[in-house]
Amino acid sequence: MSALSAKDLKKYHGRPSLRLVDPESLAALEQSRKIEVLSLNHFHRIRSLEPLSSLTNLRALFLTTTNGWDGTNRHLLVETFEPLVALRRLEIVQILGVVPERDRLQPLSRMPSLEKLSIGNTSFYQLEDFAGLSVALPRARGSLQPIYQMNFISRCRRCKKHALLFLAGAKQRSPRYVCPACGKKKIISHLQRWNSAGGVPQYDAPEKLGVADLMDTFGNPNAT
Ligand SMILES: [Zn+2]
């Protein structure tokens, strides 16, 4: 569940697309059946994603809140992600600060075309949600790691040495940015939790992983 890179998005430049910011309804989608890229931003007046199910050419979908909500844990509520299951060509999905009333991320597990997921900006989603998807979606596994490094480097304030790693789906009120040295215990228990949830890949003997191993496995070579 890493962030999307410019490279991920480049593929979709110039494709037929639609961006709706704070729409009153999704009626506009009826005239947009051919679009391949859809961005819905700050759609707080919309609860049902059902109108999306007719967009069968869709390859990339971005469901996001306004930037002003970043880091506030405020989120948009939708009924369910079930209507997305009809989108058999969808490759990339970004869900930032959007939470379903039911089914959690389970509908996505029935979308084998998915290659890349970026889900976050809320503490609603838990490690078990991502572990479940890692089993069901082999093509998207690379973006469903339990730990990753953001595109920006922030150093540990304690040791002032190592770059912090992000724990995907950490428990509420538990720290999400953790130093691979100072926060080793948190990292071990996070990986054990992933293993118990049946996530793929499984991490053998997480307690034996040193800082270099952790950075090799979860570091982001493009972080600056
Ligand atoms: Zn540290």
Residue 161 has a pLDDT of 96
Domain shared by 112 and 175, yes or no: no
Domain shared by 135 and 27, yes or no: yes
Taking only the tens place, the pLDDT of each residue in 160-193 is 999 999 999 999 889 999 999 999 999 999 999 9
Domain shared by 130 and 169, yes or no: no
How far is the centre of ligand 1, averaged over its atoms, from the C-alpha of 163 (Å)?
Answer: 8
Rounded Cα distance, 157 and 36, in Å: 43
Domain shared by 134 and 168, yes or no: no
Task: Point out the domain boundary residue: 86, 120, 144.
Answer: 144
How far is the centre of ligand 1, averaged over its atoms, from the C-alpha of 180 (Å)?
Answer: 7
Domain shared by 77 and 172, yes or no: no
Q: Are strands 116-120 and 92-96 parallel, antiparallel or unpaired?
A: parallel
Task: Point out the domain boundary residue: 121, 144, 167.
Answer: 144
Domain shared by 117 and 54, yes or no: yes
2-19: average pLDDT: 85
Please state the domain count of the chain. 2
Taking only the tens place, the pLDDT of each residue in 94-133 is 999 999 999 999 999 999 999 999 998 888 999 999 999 9
Domain shared by 40 and 140, yes or no: yes
Task: Report which residue type is found at 146.
Answer: P
How far is the centre of ligand 1, averaged over its atoms, from the C-alpha of 142 (Å)?
Answer: 26
Domain that holds residue 117: 1-144
Domain shared by 180 and 124, yes or no: no
Query: In 124-157, which positions are buried (b, 16+ CB within 10 angstroms) versus exposed (e)?
Result: bbbbbbbbbbbebbeebbebbbbbbbeeeeeebe
Domain CATH for 120? 3.80.10.10
How far is the centre of ligand 1, averaged over its atoms, from the C-alpha of 36 (Å)?
Answer: 43
Residue 2 has a pLDDT of 59
Domain shared by 214 and 107, yes or no: no
Residue 25 has a pLDDT of 96
How far is the centre of ligand 1, averaged over its atoms, from the C-alpha of 178 (Å)?
Answer: 8
Taking only the tens place, the pLDDT of each residue in 32-78 is 989 999 999 999 999 999 999 999 999 999 999 988 887 777 899 99
Residue 142 has a pLDDT of 86
Rounded Cα distance, 131 and 146, in Å: 8
Domain shared by 8 and 67, yes or no: yes
Domain shared by 1 and 39, yes or no: yes
Query: In 70-104, which positions are buried (b, 16+ CB within 10 angstroms) versus exposed (e)?
Result: eeeeebbebebbbbbbbbeebbbbbbbbbebeeeb
For residue 187, give the nearest of 158, 217, 161 by alpha carbon: 217
Phi-psi category of residue 21: left, alpha or beta, with phi > 0 → left and psi -120 to 50 → alpha: beta
Taking only the tens place, the pLDDT of each residue in 141-165 is 988 999 999 888 899 999 999 999 9
How far is the centre of ligand 1, averaged over its atoms, from the C-alpha of 72 (Å)?
Answer: 25
How far is the centre of ligand 1, averaged over its atoms, from the C-alpha of 215 (Å)?
Answer: 13
How far is the centre of ligand 1, averaged over its atoms, from the C-alpha of 217 (Å)?
Answer: 18
How far is the centre of ligand 1, averaged over its atoms, from the C-alpha of 176 (Å)?
Answer: 14
Radius of gyration of the chain (CA): 18
How far is the centre of ligand 1, averaged over its atoms, from the C-alpha of 24 (Å)?
Answer: 47
